[in-house]
Amino acid sequence: MTGDGWVELEEPELAEEPTGPVPVVAVVGRPNVGKSTLVNRLIGRRQAVVEDTPGVTRDRVPYDAQWTGRQFTVVDTGGWEPDAKDRAAAIAAQAEIAISTADVVIFVVDTTVGATDVDEAAVRMLRRSAKPVLLVANKVDNAALEIEATSLWSLGLGEPFPVSALHGRGAGDLLDKILELLPEPPLINENPGPRGPRRVALVGRPNVGKSSLLNRLAREDRAVVDSVAGTTVDPVDSLVEIGGEVWQLVDTAGLRKRVGRASGTEYYASLRTAGAVEAAEVAVVLLDASETISEQDQRILSMVTEAGRAMVIAFNKWDLVDGERRYYLDKEIDRELRRIPWAIRLNLSARTGRAVDKLAPALRKALASWETRIPTGQLNQWLTALVQATPHPVRGGRAPRVLFATQASTCPPKFILFTTGPLDAGYQRFVERKLREEFGFEGSPIEVSVKARK
């Protein structure tokens, strides 16, 4: 920043992957006070797309923003209806939506005009909320105008923040202030530091062929590694090179040593499986293709899904599958794996080595899906088209609207839909299914939740 408080904002560096929900900042205010100019300034975009016509209707659009390594979403609440009869009511309604969805509200006033009746109506709305509100005195293009800004104290929202959205004056300080008000990102990082080998759980009921597969993998690549530089590996884990890459197979010590029979009761086996799944990023669930998919298989599949891990289903003992078995297996798959059509499936044989080389690519694909982040702009472009083409069905004369969406986290991908009311479970599933159709996520569970404005 130079002496006169002028800042030229640089294109932001790509921030670290956020580990928690990305906080939302809503920008509200009368038409023409400079909201979209400010939003463009906050997201670091130089070519501001600003409509010069007052009251031009814009959609409520979220944008990704980053400042000093922290990420947040800025929502431009430009959805002003130019023909609204009662302007104060319209802006109050707009502010209401913003309040309900945001972590921080930025209320923009045009300093060259001063506080108007409409501004005061909006303020009454804002003050009733528990959300932090930042009063921005915009169009303070020079130091002389700062005096004008002080008159906005009268709005009762605390100290006005003088900025010039157009020229960038005061914008850096404003961003610092916004970050102060945002909720702290969670301290626990699920995947901290430089990444060691990817963690894989090899699970399945007794006798599906886990030890055989592990032995096959170790033999094929002649590489059960003892250590990888810079990483500490639990002694019960195995490091195995598969497909030219070292993987950490969690809790496989028992499998490596074992000479045949399963040890321990089913209860302990299942505890152990749960522990391995928890510790892993991706699970390979082995099923015995020559036998009917059992309840125990189902429990293990649910365990992986509920833990939110990426998943590859390996139908082992494929050498035993003949035409007739194949016919019945296909039917079982349709019936039993209906809820997890996204899991990657492989038909392999630990005995013959069939398709064992497909395991590493499948794991990589599942992990890539698990870590996918859809940029907010892309997500909402898709969503807007979707809800326009297929709006929520009308219930009792009303239909909740989906306002926008953010991806709250990765590993697995979780999405939040911001809506004007609760959605039908069916409609929520519809959005989730379409989300998969559009973006894939093969091999990874995803989660869609709804935040309805109250």
Residues that bind ligand GDP (CB under 6 A): 29, 31-37, 50-52, 78, 138-139, 141, 164-166, 204, 206-212, 255, 262, 316-317, 319-320, 349-351
CB of 432 to ligand GDP, least distance (A): 33
User: From the centroid of its chain, how far is CA 342?
Assistant: 18
318 labeled binding residue: yes
Choice between 34 and 412, CB closer to ligand GDP: 34
111 CB neighbour count, 10 Å cutoff:
27
Would the annotation count 189 as a binding residue?
Answer: no
> Min. distance of Cβ 205 from ligand GDP in angstroms?
7
User: Cβ(211)–Cβ(258) under 8 Å?
Assistant: yes
Where does 235-303 show beta strands of DSSP type E? 238-242, 245-250, 282-288
Smaller CB separation from ligand GDP, 308 or 353: 353
What's the min distance (Å) between Cβ of 213 and ligand GDP? 7
The nearer residue to ligand GDP, 45 or 351, going by C-beta atoms, is: 351
**What is the nearest approach in angstroms of ligand GDP to the Cβ of residue 59?**
12
DSSP classification of residue 106: E
Cβ proximity to ligand GDP: between 280 and 417 the closer is 280
Shortest reach from residue 176's CB to ligand GDP, in Å = 18
> Least CB distance from residue 399 to ligand GDP, whole Å?
28
> Which of 237, 412, 424, 248 lies closest to 340 in space, CA to CA?
412
Output the DSSP codes for 422-447: PPPHHHHHHHHHHHHHHH--TT---E
Strands 61-67 and 70-76 turn out to be antiparallel
Residue 208 annotated in ligand binding: yes
Query: Residue holding tokens 């909402």?
Result: 380
Does residue 361 have a cis peptide bond before it, meaning omega lies within 30 degrees of 0? Answer: no
Task: Answer yes or no: is 454 a known binding residue.
Answer: no
DSSP calls for 182-234? SPPPPS--SS-SS--SEEEEEE-STTSSHHHHHHHHHHHTT-EES--TT----
Nearer Cβ to ligand GDP (62/78):
78
Q: Is 141 annotated as a binding residue?
A: yes
User: Residue 164 annotated as binding?
Assistant: no
Is 205 labelled as part of a ligand binding site? yes
| Residue 251 among known ligand-binding residues | yes
Phi, psi of 87 (to 5 degrees): -60, -40
- Among residues 33 and 313, whose Cβ is nearest to ligand GDP? 33
Query: Binding site for GTP: residue ranges?
Result: 29-36, 76-80, 138-141, 204-211, 251-255, 316-319
Positions at the binding site = 29-36, 76-80, 138-141, 204-211, 251-255, 316-319
